[in-house]
Structures are given as structure tokens and as C-alpha cells.
């Protein structure tokens, strides 16, 4: 069974990611680990906030609490799809969060779910290519509102 690391924050639970996970499940047996970096409120796009999942915040503890709410919501949505999934909140730096997760467990592939290119900090940082080079794993990018790329 393949182990798939899904890294998402503001796009978690969005139609594009759910469609991609559903298609990945159809390819063959896999289980998922959902990683939600505790992104600082200062780095979140207000246009991508999920109603009911975003509370006013003013500290790092609040950032982790927000990420925990997103994680619980994401786990619930993916389980309703029939996915075998668990997950965790990670470091605010997505690269560090991915590294810490990969050091604890083995994965066969990574799915990065991002905001559109004009607003995505992860895409501006070239996170998909950096992750692929560093960890030598296939990386699929699911961009909200666009087709996924591998």
C-alpha cells in the first residue's frame, strides 16, 4: 500500500484537492497522512479563508489552534471520501514541517495543495521543486482553481 503525504493549509477541503485525492484512491491502495503547517496569520490569504474555520488570532498558539481546526476538518472530509487518513499540525515553515514528518515516517509520494499562483507563498518560494529535489519523491501540485500537475 502506498503512503501519500498531503500538505495543505488554506486549500484543505477544497474541491480541487478532494477530486485529486479521489482520483489517487482510484489508482490503487493507499493511505494518506495529512500535514497542516501552522501558517502564521500574517501569511494567510484572507480571500481563501474557510467560513467557520477561521477565528481572530494574535499569537503563535492561536496559529497552531487554527491549524488544528483545519486538520480536524480536513480529516473529516477525507474520511467521508473513504480515505484512510491521519495527520498532524506541523511547523509554520512548510519545508521544515515536511522534513520533520518524513523523518518520522516513510512516504512514497507527496501532494502539495496550494492557492493560485498569484497569491500562493508556497509557489513563490518554489516549494514543490525544492521538496522534490530534497526528498527525492514524486510531488503532485494541486492548485486551487487549476488542474493538478506532477
Pairing of strands 85-90, 109-114: unpaired
What is the number of alpha carbons within 13 Å of residue 15 lying toward its C-beta?
A: 3
Residues 77-123 pLDDT 10s? 999 999 999 999 999 999 999 999 999 999 999 999 999 988 999 99
- Within a domain: 98: yes
- Within a domain: 148: no
Give dist(CA 134, CA 130) in Å, integer: 6
Domain count for the chain, please give it: 1
- Within a domain: 129: no
Cell numbers describing residue 17 = 484537492
Cell numbers describing residue 79 = 474520511
Query: Which run of H or E residues covers position 70?
Result: helix 60-80
- Within a domain: 104: yes
Confidence class of residue 61 from pLDDT cuts 50, 70 and 90? confident
**Of 59 and 27, which is predicted with more confidence?**
27
- Within a domain: 56: yes
- Within a domain: 123: no
Q: Cβ neighbours of residue 88 under 8 Å, at least 6 residues apart?
A: 33, 34, 35, 36, 71, 101
CB-based contact 108:137 (threshold 8 Å): yes
* pTM of the entire predicted model: 0.85
Q: Containing domain of residue 7, as a range?
A: 2-108
- Within a domain: 113: no
Calculate the alpha carbon distances from 136 to 20, 61, 99, 125, 143 in Å.
21, 33, 12, 18, 21
- Within a domain: 19: yes
CATH of the domain at 78: 3.40.50.620
Amino acid at each position: 500500500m502506498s503512503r501519500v503525504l498531503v500538505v495543505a493549509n488554506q486549500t484543505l477541503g477544497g474541491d480541487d484537492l478532494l477530486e485529486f485525492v479521489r482520483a489517487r484512491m482510484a489508482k490503487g491502495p493507499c493511505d494518506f497522512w495529512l500535514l497542516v503547517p501552522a501558517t502564521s496569520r500574517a501569511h494567510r490569504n484572507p480571500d481563501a479563508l474557510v467560513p467557520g474555520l477561521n477565528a481572530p488570532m494574535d499569537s503563535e498558539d492561536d496559529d497552531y489552534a487554527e491549524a488544528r481546526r483545519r486538520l480536524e476538518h480536513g480529516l473529516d472530509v477525507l474520511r467521508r471520501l473513504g480515505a484512510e487518513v491521519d495527520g498532524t499540525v506541523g511547523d509554520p515553515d512548510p519545508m521544515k514541517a515536511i522534513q520533520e514528518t518524513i523523518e518520522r515516517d516513510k512516504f512514497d509520494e507527496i501532494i502539495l495543495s496550494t492557492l493560485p499562483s498569484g497569491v500562493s507563498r508556497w509557489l513563490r518560494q518554489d516549494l514543490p521543486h525544492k521538496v522534490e529535489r530534497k526528498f527525492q519523491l514524486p510531488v503532485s501540485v494541486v492548485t486551487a482553481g487549476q488542474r493538478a500537475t506532477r
